[in-house]
Structure 1
Amino acid sequence: MKHPRTLNFLSLLALLAVGQASATGTPAGTQITNQATVTYRDSDTGTRQGTNSNEVSTLVKQVAGLTITLDGSVAQPGQQQQAVPGGEVVYPYTLTNTGNGTDSFKLNVLTDTSLAGGVSPAAAPVVYADTNGDGILQPGERVSLPVSGSDVLITNVAADSQQRFFVVYQVPITALSTQTISTEPRGTSVFDASKQDGYGGATTENYARTNVVQDAVITSTKQVLSVTRDGLGNLTARYRISVTNSGVRDATGVVVTDDVIGGLSDLPAGSVIDANPATYGSTPAGAAVSIPAPDTIQASLGTLVAGQTAQFDFQVLIPSSAAPTTAANPYTNVADIQFAENRNADLNGDTVPDPVHSNAADISKAPVALLGLGPSGDPNGAADATIETSYTSPEGVSITPGTSTNDDTQLAASVPSGSSVTFTQTLINNGDATDTFNMAAVLAGLPAGSVVQLLRADGTPLADSNGDGIVDSGPLASGQRSTILVKVLFPARDAGGLPVSDPDGGSVVITATSVLENTVSNATTDLIGAVTAPSVAFGDRDPGANGGNPALTPVVNAVPGAVVTFPMEAGNNGGQPDTYNLSGSVTFPTTAGPVTVPVTYYLDSDGDGVLSPAELAAGPVTTTGTLQPGTELKLIASVTVPAGATAGPVSVNQTATSPVTGTTAADTNDVITVKSIYDLSLSTDRSGTTTSPGTALYQHTLANVGNAPLLPGDLAFTATQAGATTGWTNLYSLDGVNFFPTAEGAFADGASRNLLGGDGKLDPNESVPLYVKVNVPSGEPTEALNQSTLSVSITKTDTPAGPSDTVDVLDTVANPARVTDTTRVVGGKLNASKSVVNCGADLLCAAPVSGADAFPNEYLRYTLSARNLSADPLSEVLFKDTVPAYTSLYAVGGPANGYYRIDGGAWIAVSTPLGAPRPAGTLLEFAADTDGVAGITPNDTVLAPGVSLDFTLTVKVN
């Protein structure tokens, strides 16, 4: 940036950040995850069914950037001051990390003597850190910084944060009053040496000029004495300006002028000087004080003899309507000082010497956190005039406003036990800054064992987007709304094993709490009038309860990569035969962000609660089959702990759902306690279904969690198959596009195309996706099961640091890392899959690469695919997806007869441009016109047997 005026002497470095670019987008290391759902009408049962796609994730990579301010050239320096021969000069600067990750920076100071009368300092300039950030060099801050060669180092500056520093040197004792000294600090990123500031060309310059005089020398400092906030949010800032004559002669006609809005100050519009004389004063007393304008104060200090200091206090009132500040952009205030002996150059063209400036004193204004959470479409509840309306939940339950049409409640009059009801809530950020809201739900008065789930608008679980251990809304801009689904699942039986019947019902109180200000929250209440008639129970093994006991809380300790099992039971507690679909997931916190792992179920044929080799070989199940009333099925729930899982407890969420009646039972009390280890990891075991002939695609992640790089030749892969193997083949790929018969071939290709990084190695903490494509031959019978296992071991045994070093190979040939893909041949239903590619800077995505990682401002294209695996047409096929956190939606795509709609609005042909980008959290739905009637009708979308349907959405990483 270029300021129209120059800054003399001490300049508080907050000023230097005014107008700075903030950090480059999404923080480095963020995991962007995306998962979708596809629903359809089952032709056998007539009920609506749904399936979640696999979850895909993209790691945001680090980019570097920096600015050093104030800017200025040799001819037009950003700062200037007067000094006598032998005097010390101090120039403050601000270095801002405009990258998206923590970085360190090298600094050096250049002296330029090209101007007439230009000379060098008496000795090389010294750089000191401004540790308290006040722009004033304190005695305790004269501490040497670390060095790297001829440069000093400023280390570990967080993204979008500042480090303020001083350039200090002494004027030669022999300098003449006609001479000047010009210096410039220059900076370079350690993470990316191509990112610089102060080197001219594409970067700015940061020159400051010292004018040598044999006269009065005025210097000024400005302090913030206090900042208070009244009950309405208005700020009162009290400042003290100190003016010192450090020259050899008297300074006459000394006048201090402070325009708190104009010039080099940038307090917000509406800021005014407190005109009450009791709020200001001066030392020595008697300064003539005036307020020529509401935002300007002036003090005439008269004559200051050599060595004399005068002080001047005043207050500024800042309105509550002012926008909040950031770490890189505080509100700053600079005073101007003129005096008769001023010999500064006239660089601003007003025909008088540029004034001396105080340092810039900065203050911060915290953002105001405010939110509304209420029934569907009415986030502010009774606080506004919006009238709530009735709607039908995904389960078909009618939801109506509570006792009043505007009382912040909504009611489901009656819900069958063993089933669920989903309420729709609307959340709005009423604050003045982007905020994230932690979500919590508390049950009251409902049958014991009732469970509440907080979901996104597309039906997938809310994630912990900021890593604080609590699920949340994701970042919402000021004024932005988000839809939260509250799914309440009811048990079939009570603790005594009796059918649940609760005619009085109960409630769920949902609370959203601001992350910016955790004392700010808002709650809304969902009411259930009555809970009736159970039909299914699902829980941990309990001989005294048909269908197990979900209230039991078994805890299993495991290390990353381990397989954990829980003995489970599913029981039919209804009055008619029923079938229950089994599903479960566990969200593990990992070093790369949250990872959701599916629960795989096996029949416990001998009932001993242990998964035997024979039971494992029999393959996983996803349904109980038909259970007669009062009978149960014994199961083993299996969970593979992902590599990189961090230590701590996680809950296992499991459900059994009837596709006929829609009743659901849940167990969320089982706990896996994870211990961390470091290892070469290959994750995770997958299971899927396909037809014969057909193809199943599984995505795994291979990560180097050691501390030494690995070449493709350092890894040995072994592929084996079990179960149905004749004619089954596997292919391998690192990008999901180019496949090879062996994993070694895929890695060699990846190294040649820089998929392993620029040096062709798998570096420490680096991970790559590994795709396994399982090709199923024709003629395989239904329920044929194939288990494809891929093992990887490390063959590297050299000593990278010399003979005295040792190498601990954790993944040997005898104990390799491995994954198993279980593929089952089926005859029906629907398969949903999700993939992602990185389009770089090209919205049209002409040359996509792996979507495993991306830089800010790059495009990601997600492809959502649904395939009919049954022998009959599937109707009413509907895709649902949500724009991932930390991204914005820029484009959608699909077949010629494809349509989409946004947040439940009107259907639009995919050939119609999207228009303005849509923010994270936006709900997208896709469908196809298959009935020949223009647009989407109740008869759309029909998916014929064996046919696939694909839609795409393209987002940009913020």
Structure 2
Amino acid sequence: MKHRSLMLAAFLALGVASAAGTTAGTQITNQASAAYRDASGTKLDANSNQVSTLVKQVAGVTISPDGTPAAPGQQQQAVPGAEVVFPYTLTNTGNGPDTFSVDTVVDSTVTNTVAPATRVVYIDANGDGILQPGERVALPQVNGKVQFQNVIADAQVKFFVVLQVPSSATSVNKVIIQPTAVSTFDATKTDGVTSSTNYAQANVVQDAVLSVSKSVVSSTTESNGDLTVVFRIQSTNTGTQTATNVTLADDIISAASTLPAGSVVKAASASVSPATGVVSYPNDDADSNASDQVRAVFASVAPGQSVQLSFTATIPAAAAPTTSQSPYRNVATVTYTGSTGTVTTTASNTADVTKAPTAAVAIGPNGDPLGAADPTTGAVYTSAEGLTITPDNTDKQTVASLAAGSTVTFTQTVRNTGNSTDTFDLTAALNDLPAGTSVELLRDGVSLTDTDGSGKPDSGPLAPGESTNIQVRVRVPAQAGADVNGGTVVVTATSKVSPTRTDVTTDTITAVTAPSVSLGNTSPSNGGTPATVANTNVLPGNQATFTVEVGNNGAQPDNYNLSGTVTFPTSTPTGATTTTVNVVYYKDLNGDGVLDANELAAGPITNTGTIQPGQEIKLIGVVTTPTTALPGTVTVTQTASSPVTNTTGTDNNDTVTVLQVYDIALTPDRSGTTTSPGTALYQHTLQNDGNTSFSPADLTFTSTPSGATSGWTYLYSLDGTTFFSTVGAAFSDASTRNLLGTTSPATLDPGEKVTLSVKINVPAGAPTESINQLTLTAATTPASPATGAVSRDPGSNPARVTDTTRVVGGKLAIDKTVDNCANDVTCAVIKSGADAFPGEYLRYTLAARNLSTDTLTEVVLRDTVPANTVLAGVSGPARGFYRISGGAWTAVATAPVAQNAGTLIEFAVDTDGNGSIDATETSLTSGSSVTFTLTVRVN
């Protein structure tokens, strides 16, 4: 088949799971589905196999802050012999755990630089940017380099580079140093190894030197959701001279700080030590926040003396949550005048603030996730099955009635009402519904998957305020019967961020109605009237026929197994007995009440096939009277019983009046199902219903296959153990081995019967839904008939049975495969294996094939953009179309816009070639197939 493919030439990344993309080891699972109608008009679904792709690990590392020799990222002043502490942050920007070798490089190429007397790396254990005595812990080393071990993806390691200025240094000297990092997983991933990116500089002075540090004393979440943070700024004169006009300052909304908009310094919250400091709250930064600054001025700070400013800031509840890897950061400064009149400003370390996420979820009826919590009431809508569903404002939606054996699909809306991206596990609990009722959670016709590894289906990630619709499909078993009280399904959504945060909504089925069938003689109502009495006169061995109507008075499509029997008084050489004969049913195709030749040729049926609600099927019942039947009137007992709903209809008012002779009987018709390859075994009764014994020479057998016959084989046995290729051979063997009854060893005597077993072997490769019918006949051809004897089963009208074998399987098979296209969105070359790195493309191929013997219509293939991926392209046949989230149909020749995970993509074929997708497309004839692909990029 000719295919066209068009991909996104310029790909837009719409979000990633980590700095380097989706976390290593993540399984990207995906399953497609299809909707279609079969030849009876029944709307059906089919699901594909599930495919899975493992995300592989990539490495990455950064160290910050950055800086060059010409513009160092950090600068401090220090006197000769003093210790200088530079805080840094290492971030694992890969997608898996890694170990990093960290070194410190001294640059002596810049004029007047000197090497430090010592240099060492320590971990900032509490992450406050201030070197505490307890943090001076030696780190493991390999080949002289410090090891930061088992750093998970996106995690940060805060550390210090501590150096000592040589005692011999002078005020013209400086010390320049750079930390470097190398990934152990992939040694090509480094920071600072081949470039000057992390430089810090210590300037040697013989004057006042004020260091400054900032820390978070406490953080408290208030009842209204605001976060209250107490900061402390401390500065110490580590120099040799007194500093004057010392100013500790903080602007919490500035380029150096990342506190969110709306954050303020709490009025009158500042305190100083010593008390000689003068506090102010200026507004001279020319921004719109009049309360984001605080200062404390000290007249002088002697060598070795420390000063301190503490204050409280408020971060608003509406601000987005943060993580320890990406917190809000704040930097303070100290400005002072040295002994020579030089004014110096030094920035502190970053003080990090983590604002915890607030989890909340709402789930409710379609379009109304808040349910009773707001005045909104969802609109009345029609379910996928055509049922009216009515939401109310009490977090409930109701369907008035559901037929046993059918389904109803409720639509729920789930909304993330928290302040951070969250995933919500979804469960459904049944209450008071009939035993065997099942419930399934879906999105766009595809079963919900477990995207977060919790073991429960979930919504997938939802951003704050984002909503999604899911479906709750409830199936009441066909055998449930009526339930006037109905029941409910309670659906619960549970937050992944905070499992204690849940919400529930209720789907109500007011009542369950029972199915119903009517069986009887012709009547003006739907189905026959069993109270009507009908009689048929017949000679022994002849067939009595009568009209039958079967009507489905239930509320769902149903089918019925047909059975009917007549028990005749019969004569045998030893006396009277009884014989029961089955009624054989044929479709009365033209409804004239007469078994026409074409109806007889169509063969008998034992099941009505699907009957829609309010419809009926007209039949002709045939009773073959035993040849030894005694004169008299007997009753015909008929039953139509549903294998789906266990509903049964009976008619016991028809009669047969036997007028008089004898014959051979071969009963009954059989039907069954099997797989390919497989075996079907049927048993029939061969009985002498006449008054003359039969030897093998008196009977003629035939077996005629029809329908699907290629490769099918047939075997016959009268003892169920030894099988022969023909019925005649089996009968002769039975005669030889004295298997033909009990009265005389070599013949089949009046009233005697044997079991004829038929074994049908189905070849491999037989199409699903193919049907084979094997018709067996037995004709009476007595070698020496008595004078005046009537043969009721001559060769022209033999006794017969039909075995109907159907190969079972789905009518539409949908298969799904995945290929790794590496970095090529066109997938010109397929990479071995389906595992993928972040940034690589995966191409999913959806192939649907019609396995039935009928034409399927309205075939629509459905797939969903998998978690941790973004849609990049589609392809399909020349008349292929796709649509996104139920929007307009678009030819596959038009490239799609990038779509996030969870987006529904549907495919169809313009079967009639009119340039659009009509209601009945796609159409697939028996055995035909259609293939589409969608390509995604792994985040």
TM over 0.5: yes
Aligned counterparts of 1:431 and 1:248: Cα–Cα separation in 2: 54
User: 2:136 — aligned with what?
Assistant: 142
TM-score by length of 2: 0.66
1:338 to 335, 340, 347: 335
Aligned counterparts of 1:920 and 1:40: Cα–Cα separation in 2: 25
Does 1:381 pair with 2:371?
yes
Aligned counterparts of 2:481 and 2:305: Cα–Cα separation in 1: 86
User: 1:307 — aligned with what?
Assistant: 304
Q: Which amino acid aligns with 1:34?
A: N
User: Structure 1 residues 392, 83: closer, same or farther in 2, change over 3 A?
Assistant: same
Does 1:931 pair with 2:912?
yes
Aligned counterparts of 1:156 and 1:877: Cα–Cα separation in 2: 51
Q: What's the offset of the Cα at 1:945?
A: 2.3
Pairing of 1:443-462 with structure 2 (within 5 A): 443-460=430-447, 462=448
User: 1:431 — aligned with what?
Assistant: 418
Q: What's the offset of the Cα at 1:689?
A: 8.8
Aligned counterparts of 2:643 and 2:890: Cα–Cα separation in 1: 34
Q: What's the offset of the Cα at 1:845?
A: 2.1
User: 1:249 — aligned with what?
Assistant: 241
1:267 to 252, 259, 263: 259
User: 1:943 — aligned with what?
Assistant: 924
User: 2:703 — aligned with what?
Assistant: none
User: Structure 1 residues 779, 93: closer, same or farther in 2, change over 3 A?
Assistant: closer
CA contact (8 A) 2:100 2:182 kept: yes
- For residues 309-368 of structure 1, the C-alpha deviation after alignment (integer angstroms, 9 at most, x for no partner) is 122111112222222223322111111101111899xxxxxxx86511222111011233
1:842 to 821, 824, 841: 824
User: 2:165 — aligned with what?
Assistant: 171
Does 1:161 pair with 2:143?
no
Aligned counterparts of 1:482 and 1:942: Cα–Cα separation in 2: 31
2:883 to 888, 893, 901: 901
User: 1:215 — aligned with what?
Assistant: 207
Does 1:287 pair with 2:277?
yes
Q: Which amino acid aligns with 1:281?
A: S
Q: What's the offset of the Cα at 1:891?
A: 2.1
Q: What's the offset of the Cα at 1:905?
A: 2.6
Aligned counterparts of 2:506 and 2:281: Cα–Cα separation in 1: 54
CA contact (8 A) 2:337 2:343 kept: no
Q: What's the offset of the Cα at 1:200?
A: 4.1
Q: Which moved more, 1:834-843 or 1:180-189?
A: 834-843
Aligned-partner SS, 2:121: strand
Q: What's the offset of the Cα at 1:661?
A: 9.8
Aligned counterparts of 1:947 and 1:867: Cα–Cα separation in 2: 6
Aligned counterparts of 1:690 and 1:76: Cα–Cα separation in 2: 77
Aligned counterparts of 1:626 and 1:893: Cα–Cα separation in 2: 46
Q: What's the offset of the Cα at 1:534?
A: 7.2
Aligned counterparts of 1:142 and 1:689: Cα–Cα separation in 2: 74
User: 1:912 — aligned with what?
Assistant: 894
Aligned counterparts of 1:933 and 1:386: Cα–Cα separation in 2: 42
CA contact (8 A) 1:860 1:957 kept: yes
User: 1:741 — aligned with what?
Assistant: none
User: 1:411 — aligned with what?
Assistant: 398
1:86 to 64, 81, 86: 81
Aligned-partner SS, 1:270: coil
Aligned counterparts of 2:561 and 2:383: Cα–Cα separation in 1: 23
CA contact (8 A) 1:36 1:458 kept: no
**What RMSD over aligned residues (CA atoms) do the two structures have, in Å?**
3.4
Does 1:109 pair with 2:104?
yes
Aligned counterparts of 2:856 and 2:17: Cα–Cα separation in 1: 52
Q: What's the offset of the Cα at 1:197?
A: 0.4
Pairing of 1:509-528 with structure 2 (within 5 A): 509-528=490-509
- For residues 185-231 of structure 1, the C-alpha deviation after alignment (integer angstroms, 9 at most, x for no partner) is 00011111111101244xx6111111122222211221211112223
Aligned counterparts of 1:228 and 1:411: Cα–Cα separation in 2: 45
Q: Which amino acid aligns with 2:239?
A: G
Aligned counterparts of 1:254 and 1:391: Cα–Cα separation in 2: 71
CA contact (8 A) 2:75 2:203 kept: yes
- For residues 401-451 of structure 1, the C-alpha deviation after alignment (integer angstroms, 9 at most, x for no partner) is 23x3x4432212112334432212122334333211111222223234433
Aligned counterparts of 1:145 and 1:827: Cα–Cα separation in 2: 65
CA contact (8 A) 1:121 1:169 kept: yes
Does 1:27 pair with 2:23?
yes
CA contact (8 A) 1:889 1:919 kept: yes
Aligned-partner SS, 1:835: strand
Q: What's the offset of the Cα at 1:512?
A: 1.2
User: 1:391 — aligned with what?
Assistant: 381
Q: What's the offset of the Cα at 1:288?
A: 0.8
Aligned-partner SS, 2:134: helix
Does 1:368 pair with 2:351?
no
Aligned-partner SS, 2:388: strand
2:870 to 881, 885, 888: 888
Q: Which amino acid aligns with 2:401?
A: S
User: 1:577 — aligned with what?
Assistant: 560
- For residues 372-403 of structure 1, the C-alpha deviation after alignment (integer angstroms, 9 at most, x for no partner) is 32222333335556552333433x2513223x
1:488 to 435, 454, 474: 474
Aligned-partner SS, 1:849: coil
1:60 to 52, 55, 59: 55
CA contact (8 A) 2:769 2:809 kept: no
Aligned-partner SS, 2:455: coil
Larger Rg over CA atoms: 2
Aligned counterparts of 1:250 and 1:88: Cα–Cα separation in 2: 19
1:533 to 489, 495, 514: 514
Does 1:151 pair with 2:154?
no
- For residues 236-255 of structure 1, the C-alpha deviation after alignment (integer angstroms, 9 at most, x for no partner) is 21111111112222121111
Aligned-partner SS, 2:303: coil
CA contact (8 A) 1:31 1:59 kept: yes
User: Structure 1 residues 628, 354: closer, same or farther in 2, change over 3 A?
Assistant: farther
Structure 2: state its 5+ residue gaps: 1-15, 284-290, 517-555, 563-604, 610-641, 647-673, 679-710, 712-761, 771-805
- For residues 568-605 of structure 1, the C-alpha deviation after alignment (integer angstroms, 9 at most, x for no partner) is xxxxx9996379xxxxxxxxxxxxxxxxxxxxxxxxxx
2:221 to 229, 237, 242: 229
CA contact (8 A) 2:429 2:489 kept: yes
Aligned counterparts of 1:339 and 1:689: Cα–Cα separation in 2: 90
Aligned counterparts of 2:344 and 2:844: Cα–Cα separation in 1: 57
- For residues 630-667 of structure 1, the C-alpha deviation after alignment (integer angstroms, 9 at most, x for no partner) is xxxxxxxxxxxxxxxxxxxxxxxxxxxxxx99879xxx
Structure 1: state its 5+ residue gaps: 1-19, 345-351, 494-498, 536-572, 580-624, 630-659, 665-687, 693-725, 727-776, 786-823
Aligned counterparts of 1:248 and 1:926: Cα–Cα separation in 2: 78
Does 1:359 pair with 2:321?
no
Matched positions, count: 662
Pairing of 1:756-771 with structure 2 (within 5 A): none
CA contact (8 A) 1:411 1:526 kept: yes
CA contact (8 A) 1:419 1:662 kept: no
CA contact (8 A) 1:250 1:304 kept: yes
Q: Which amino acid aligns with 2:844?
A: Y
User: Structure 1 residues 57, 578: closer, same or farther in 2, change over 3 A?
Assistant: farther
Aligned-partner SS, 2:349: coil
User: Structure 1 residues 73, 781: closer, same or farther in 2, change over 3 A?
Assistant: closer
Aligned counterparts of 1:242 and 1:334: Cα–Cα separation in 2: 12
CA contact (8 A) 1:454 1:486 kept: yes
Q: What's the offset of the Cα at 1:453?
A: 2.2
Aligned counterparts of 2:304 and 2:810: Cα–Cα separation in 1: 92
Give the ranges of 4+ consecutive aligned residues of structure 1 lying more than 6 Å apart after TM superposition: 625-629, 660-664, 688-692, 824-828
User: 1:133 — aligned with what?
Assistant: 127
CA contact (8 A) 1:25 1:857 kept: yes
CA contact (8 A) 1:690 1:869 kept: no
User: Structure 1 residues 94, 689: closer, same or farther in 2, change over 3 A?
Assistant: farther
Q: What's the offset of the Cα at 1:84?
A: 1.8
Aligned counterparts of 2:275 and 2:307: Cα–Cα separation in 1: 9
Q: What's the offset of the Cα at 1:478?
A: 3.2
TM-score by length of 1: 0.65
User: 1:73 — aligned with what?
Assistant: 68
